[in-house]
Copies of this chain bind each other. A is one copy, B any other.
């Protein structure tokens, strides 16, 4: 894993990929799938996300204020769905899904070794948690796996239907 400049984080999340979210609480790491996230600020990168209070990860995130957003490429889709189909209340989801937790640098929750990008985050704003389960996160450290070239991400359309990234096009844009 190589350090990614924080100024480039938005280019990973803005396209809307399905991501994994890891937490650690009372000595146990957990992982969930997530599609409800968006960029809020370029730099320092702020990310909003919704973690349902029905998820076991919710209480860990609320209690510790730390998480890792890990971005899986297409080949991990079956594991991503296995993570989404189960609860960390009962089992070790890393083991169950065949994913490898790896130590992060600045937070307690683990990176996911198989993912092509990992973003270490701290909760920056909790004001919308009670009403919407909406956390504002600050990305404080970003990692990219240089061995995974041009990874294709997946996008969830509901009920296990995913669309995989297709062709890339470049248009003359003034938009950052």
| A positions within 8 Å CB-CB of B | 8, 10-11, 14-17, 33, 35-41, 46, 48-50, 77-78, 81, 84-85, 125, 127-128, 131-132, 134, 136, 152, 154-176
Contacts and interface: CB of A to CB of B under 8 A. Distances in A.
B162 A170 contact: yes
A37 B39 CA distance: 8
B78 A158 contact: no
Contacts of A46: 132
A15 B14 contact: no
17 contacts: A10-B158, A14-B35, A14-B157, A40-B134, A77-B169, A77-B171, A81-B173, A84-B174, A84-B175, A154-B169, A155-B155, A159-B176, A160-B175, A161-B170, A163-B165, A163-B167, A163-B169
Contacts of A171: 77-78, 81, 160, 162
Nearest to A175: B84
Which 8 pairs across A and B sit closest by C-beta, in order of nearness?
A: A16-B16, A166-B166, A160-B173, A15-B155, A38-B38, A11-B158, A81-B171, A84-B175
